[in-house]
A and B are shown apart, each in its own frame.
Chain A
Amino acid sequence: MGIPDRILRMLEEKKRSGCPVKPQSELYKDLSFDSLSFIALLLEIEEIYSIVFEIAEMEKCLRVVGLIAATERKVREKAP
C-alpha cells in the first residue's frame, strides 16, 4: 500500500469526528485530533516508515496533504 493510502486509512481509523478525510482536512479542526493523538499518530508513522519528524516539521503535518507530503519526503530522504 502506498504512503498516501496508508495514511488516509490511519486517519479514517483514528479520527474522532464524522467529517470525511480529505486532502485539505485539518487534523485538529476537522478530524478532532488533539495534541496527544496527533503525536501518537506521528510516532506510529515514524515507526512504520523508520523516519523521524523534527519538531519544526510537525507543523506541516497538521493538514492531511501536508502530513502525506512530509512523510513521503522523509522516506525519500532516508533512501540510499
Chain B
Amino acid sequence: MIIDWIFDRRNDGAAAVLDGGRAVTFLALREKIGAVQRGLMNEQGGVIALCLPNTEDYLSAFFGVILAGRTVFPLNVLMTAHEISLLIKQGGVSAVLTSAEYRPLFLEEAPADRRVLLIEDMYGAGMRKPILPTLDNKSAIVFLGTSGTTGKVKIAALTKRNIEASLTGYLSKMDFERADPAGGRFVIALPFSSAYGMMCLCACMAKGLPIVLLRGAFTPELFYKTIAAHRVTHYEGSPLVITFMVQMANRAVPYAIESLKYLGFGGNGIPAETIKKMSKLYPQIELSQGYGMSEASPLIAKHQRSKRIKPDSVGTAIRGAEIVIRTADGITKAPGKRGEILVRGANVMRGYYKNEEETQKAIQNGYLYTGDIGYLDRAGYLYICGRKKNCMMIRGFPVQPEEVEACILNGSLATDCKVYAGRDRFGNESLCARVVPVRADLTAQEIRAHCRRYLASYKCPEEIQFCAEIQKNAAGKTDRKGSETT
C-alpha cells in the first residue's frame, strides 16, 4: 500500500503535486523516485536522513529511499544544525539526503562515514523507472524522532506493517469513496517530515489525490488564495488555521473558498468552543479531529467522516487498534473512567531505535503507553484531558521542557528555570518560561536570541518571566504539577 501506487501506471498523466502554476504528474514523480532509488543503490549503510522542505523533491526522496531498501529518517528543516546533529548521531545515520539550499546545516557533519548527498545530483544522473523492491514487514523503513530531553531523543522505528496499519485506519475514517467520489485536492499544512505529514502524504499518493503545496510564509492570504487558485477541497494540518479563520470571520475573504469541504486536524488541544464557532461560521466545511503519536505510526483515533463530530473528542479508535484506559484499578474500557490512554494494534511501533529501556517502558504487554490522560464515552469516543508525560504540544510540535531548560542553563543566562505551557489569547498552548537570571539586567530578548541559536523557533519561549526562585518538589526537582495551563 505505501509503495504500491508507484507501480500503478493508470494515473501517469494526472497531477500528483500542484506547485503554483506547475503541475507535477504522477509519471514525473515516479521517475524522480526511480532516480533517487538508483542513486542510492551504491550507498552503504542502512539509515538515510532526509532534510528537505515540503516539495515534490521531498516526495521523491522519501519514497526513493524506501524503494532503495533503506530506512528513511525525516528531519524537520526548521531545526537548527545543533538539533539535527544530535538526531543524526543517535539515529546511526550513514548518509544525509538534502538539497544545496540546506547543505549548510550539515557543514559540521563531515565524518568519513557519513556522506551528504544532494537531490540535485540524484536527478542529474537521469530520471529512471523505479524498480519494485521486496520490503519485509519486520525491518524499520522509517525512523521518527520523538520529543526527548537534551542529548537523548527517542527514535521510533516504524515498519511497513506499522505505517500501513495507520494508513488503513486513516483511509477508513476518510471514506473517500463515499465522501469524495469526485476526488479531491489536498493541502497538507504540516512538515512532511512529521508523523502526521507522513501519513497524509502517503494517503494522498495511495489514493491518487494531488497535493497542493503552500509556498511562502503561511498567512491567511496565502491560505485563502491557494484554496481559490487550486480549488482545494481538503486541508490537513494544525488546528491553528481554525483559530485564525474564526478570528478573521468578521473580515471579507477576497477569494472563493467554497471548494474547501474538509478540514482535518490534530496536534494540540484547540478549545472546543473554537471548533463550535467554526462549525457555525463555515457549516459547509466538515471538521475532523484526530489523535496520534509517532510511536503509533501515527494514527490512534479520528472522527469518522460524515458523522457528527463531538468537539471535545478526538474521535474513535482506528480500524485494527484497541484503545483502553489504565486506571489505578487496572485496564478498562468502561465509559467515564479517567487514566492513561493505552493503545494496541499493528500501528504500534516496533520499538525505539537502540533504546530497549525506553521501549520496555513505552510498550508493555503489547500496549503502547501514550503518556496522555483521557477517558472513553459510551460510544467509544476518546477524550484527552491532560498529559502524564512532560511533553507539550506547541504549534503542533512536541516540545520537551527539559530540552529548552537545558538550553537556557547551558547559555549561562540563568541559575535556574522552568519551561511550561501557557495559553495564548486564542486558547492554544504557548511556550512560557520562568527564569532566575544570572544578572539583574538580563532581558527576555537575550534569552530568546540564545535559544534561537540552538533550537527551532517553536521551542523558543514566547513569554518569559523573571523570578527569584523556581519551586521544587520533595525530591528537589522542578515542581511541574499544575504546569500545563496557567
A contacts, CB < 8 Å to B: 12-18, 26-29, 32, 34-40, 43, 52-56, 58-59, 62
Contacts and interface: CB of A to CB of B under 8 A. Distances in A.
Nearest to B455: A16
Contacts of A28: 217
Given A28-B217, A55-B251, A55-B252, 14 more contacts: A17-B449, A17-B457, A18-B448, A18-B452, A32-B460, A36-B240, A39-B244, A39-B248, A52-B251, A54-B251, A55-B254, A56-B254, A59-B219, A62-B217
Contacts of B444: 13
A36 B241 CA distance: 8
B448 A15 contact: yes
Contacts of A36: 240, 243-244, 395, 424, 426, 428
B448 A34 contact: no
Chain B CB count within 10 A is highest, among A32, A36, A54, for: A36
B247 interface: yes
A28 B110 CA distance: 30
Nearest to B217: A28
Given A40-B424, A52-B251, A15 B220 contact: no
Contacts of A29: 217
Contacts of A62: 217, 219
B217 A17 contact: no
B219 A38 contact: yes
B224 interface: yes
Contacts of A53: 251
Interface in B441-462: 444-445, 448-453, 457-458, 460, 462
Nearest to A16: B460
Nearest to B220: A55
Given A12-B445, A58-B221, A62-B219, A17 B428 contact: no
A53 B220 CA distance: 12
Contacts, number: 84
B22 interface: no
A51 to B, nearest CB: 12
B178 interface: no
A13 B247 contact: no
Nearest to B216: A28
Contacts of B241: 35
B220 A34 contact: no
Given A35-B244, A55-B224, A18 B450 contact: yes
Contacts of A52: 250-251
A66 B314 CA distance: 40
7 contacts: A18-B452, A26-B217, A35-B220, A36-B243, A36-B428, A40-B426, A59-B221
Contacts of B219: 35, 38, 58-59, 62
Nearest to A43: B247
B456 to A, nearest CB: 9
A27 B220 CA distance: 15
Contacts of A37: 462
Given A18-B452, A18-B453, A55 B243 contact: no
A50 to B, nearest CB: 14
Contacts of A13: 444-445
Interface string B219-235: 11110100000000000
A27 B450 CA distance: 18
A35 B251 contact: no
B253 interface: yes
Closest 4 CB pairs of A and B: A18-B449, A32-B457, A28-B217, A16-B460
Contact of A34 (B247, B248, B458): B458
Contacts of B424: 36, 40
Central interface residue in B395, B448, B458, by most chain A CB within 10 Å: B448
B224 to A, nearest CB: 7
Most-contacted residue by chain A among B218, B445, B458, B460 (CB, 10 A):
B445
Contact of B448 (A17, A26, A56): A17
A46 to B, nearest CB: 10
Contacts of B451: 16
B95 to A, nearest CB: 29
B361 interface: no
Contacts of A35: 217-220, 240-241, 244
B428 A16 contact: no
A12 B217 CA distance: 20
